[in-house]
């Protein structure tokens, strides 16, 4: 499972070109259904606008892509917006640009520039996050070993202690950045004199975790 970047917090910006207003929105989505729901909400909010053009990219590999000109001349809105979105390297993301016509025709080149600029500004206003590969382990220990496990988690950058259940023994979830996994278990092996080993984990799965993008 490979990591990728996406939108953490939605972005919005607006430009005006020859009295036409272009309102740009950039948001995180995880499915076609989420995109359709979001677009429907934008259309309802801006029911009096002439166009609500859109583009989205889905999937960790960014392989699912679509754009719509929503009545603008073919290739003047959705496609350039998609190119802007693709240029950011983001996935599971969409941009919608709403246009309020100002009475002056912009021409093909003018529309491409306007929709591209509105999409670019909306994306720049959005906060990004990196979906990074991590390994999730389920570990069962006695209380003495659990304290050593917990201490090692706090000493390892990006490691997280997840759901933990206390009974006769402690069953806990440990989430480690993929690149830190080998070092973590090697250090823990040394701390516990080989008592707590990666091979003794009850389960091991690959997940994605959020990391801030500077």
Give the closest residue to 62 by CA, choosing from 12, 140, 132, 5: 5
Q: How far apart are CA 55 and CA 22, in angstroms?
A: 15
Integer-rounded Cα radius of gyration of the chain? 24
User: Which residues contact residue 73 at a Cβ distance below 8 angstroms, ignoring those fewer than 6 apart?
Assistant: 108, 111
Return the residue matching tokens 């998609």. Answer: 82
26: which 2 tokens?
A: 């950039």
What pLDDT, on a 0 to 100 scale, did the predictor assign at position 3? 80
Q: What secondary structure letter does DSSP report for 62?
A: -
pTM: 0.81
What pLDDT, on a 0 to 100 scale, did the predictor assign at position 1? 58
Question: What is the CATH number assigned to the segment(s) 4-125?
Answer: 3.30.230.30
Phi-psi region of 117 (alpha: psi -120 to 50; beta: other; left: phi over 0): alpha
| DSSP conformation letters of 73-133 | STTSSHHHHHHHHHHHTB-SEEEEEEEE--SS--HHHHHHHHHHHHHHHHHHHSEEEEEEE
The pLDDT tens digits of the residues spanning 166-180 come to: 999 999 999 999 999
User: Which residues contact residue 144 at a Cβ distance below 8 angstroms, ignoring those fewer than 6 apart?
Assistant: none
SS3 at position 201: coil
Kindly give the parts of the chain with pLDDT less than 70: 1-2, 214
Q: Is the CATH number 3.30.70.240 carried by domain 130-212?
A: yes
Question: Can you give the residue ranges of every domain in the chain?
Answer: 4-125, 130-212
What pLDDT, on a 0 to 100 scale, did the predictor assign at position 212? 80
């Amino acid at each position: 499972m490979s990591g990728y970047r996406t939108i953490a917090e939605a972005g919005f910006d607006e430009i005006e070109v020859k009295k036409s207003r272009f309102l740009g929105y950039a948001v995180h989505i995880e499915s076609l259904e989420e995109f359709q729901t979001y677009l429907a909400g934008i259309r309802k909010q801006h029911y009096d606008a002439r166009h609500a053009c859109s583009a989205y990219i889905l999937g960790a590999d960014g392989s699912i892509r679509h754009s719509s000109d929503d009545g603008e001349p073919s290739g003047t809105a959705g496609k350039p917006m998609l190119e802007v979105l693709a240029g950011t390297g983001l996935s599971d993301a969409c941009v919608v640009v709403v246009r309020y016509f100002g009475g002056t025709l912009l021409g093909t080149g003018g529309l491409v520039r306007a929709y591209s600029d509105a999409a670019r500004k909306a994306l720049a206003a959005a906060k990004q996050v990196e979906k990074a590969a991590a390994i999730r382990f389920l570990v069962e220990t006695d209380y003495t070993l659990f304290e050593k496990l917990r201490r090692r988690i706090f000493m390892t950058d990006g490691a997280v202690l997840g759901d933990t259940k206390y009974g006769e023994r402690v069953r806990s979830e440990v989430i480690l950045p993929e690149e830190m996994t080998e070092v973590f278990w090697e250090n823990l092996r040394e701390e516990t004199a080989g008592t707590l080993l990666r091979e003794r984990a009850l389960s091991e799965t690959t997940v994605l975790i959020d990391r801030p993008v500077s």
